[in-house]
Amino acid sequence: MKANYHTHTFRCYHAMGNEYAYIRRAIAAGIEVLGFSDHAPMLFPPEHDAYYRMKPSLLPDYVETILSLREQYRGVLKMPLGFEVEYYPDLFASFLEMIRPYPIDYLILGQHFLGNEMGGAHVMKETKEERILVDYVDQVIEGMNTGVFSCLAHPDVVFYTGDTIAFRREMRRLCRAAKECGLPLEYNLLGLSEGRNYPSPDFWPIAAEEGNAVILGWDAHRPTAFLQHEVEEKALTYLHSLGITPIETLPFRKIFP
């Protein structure tokens, strides 16, 4: 693949390696567009320990580092700057205000918690509760409808192991809403390489039926992620078998019109 828009950095406390390492491996893998989209800072009350995202104090360094690398690698690698961010209704407006002064190119929606992470359910925890599935889809749709996102990361991240009919019904609702918003769905290669519950074999046939735009994303948490050609091949073979040809380039939605 020529473009990957889902790349983390060490600032989120659970990804490894500095930007140079990601850039070197991306170039070695033949990538021409390397989008950085680390877990976004959010303005939580001080008592909350935001353990898997960058602190707001690291935001200027993140932006300056990527912008300076972009200059350094001009002509070799395009390097758009973004964030992976949840749609947390209570915290979203203050998040947007916080990033407004910076030249952020794109946002990808990656919904890891319901409500928000201060007490809300973690959607990657296995559950048979239909309520969690429905609430996940409701919150993702509300997020997509803000119009600021360019892509929906791992749409099938919710680890629901209850009734399959309910899963298919809710995921069809999600796929239709994404299509209405014109938002591509990310086929997540990290989940594939690690054998996680996503990409879900029950999800992608629905995306194929609904005609959603699909894009591959490495969700890179370590620089070597880009070099797993067999994972990319496996993903493409599977998606092609469903009649899905992933798009290569992500059109960016304006965050501040």
Query: Residues in the site for Zn ion, rule: CB under 5 A?
Result: 84, 110, 219
Q: How far is the CB of 217 from Zn ion (least distance, A)?
A: 8
User: Which residue is it, tokens 């070099």?
Assistant: 227
Q: What token pair was written down for 228?
A: 């797993």
Identify which of residues 35 and 110 has a Cβ nearer to Zn ion in the complex. Answer: 110
Q: How far is the CB of 59 from Zn ion (least distance, A)?
A: 17
Bridge partners of 207, per DSSP, are none
Identify which of residues 80 and 110 has a Cβ nearer to Zn ion in the complex. Answer: 110
Radius of gyration of the chain (CA): 17
Identify which of residues 166 and 228 has a Cβ nearer to Zn ion in the complex. Answer: 228
Beta strand ranges found along the chain (DSSP E): 3-4, 33-34, 36-39, 81-85, 106-109, 151-152, 185-188, 214-217
Identify which of residues 110 and 143 has a Cβ nearer to Zn ion in the complex. Answer: 110
Q: Which residue is nearest to Zn ion (CB)?
A: 110
Q: How far is the CB of 18 from Zn ion (least distance, A)?
A: 17
d(Cα 90, Cα 88) in Å, to the nearest integer?
A: 6
Q: How far is the CB of 188 from Zn ion (least distance, A)?
A: 8
Q: What token pair was written down for 214?
A: 């699909």
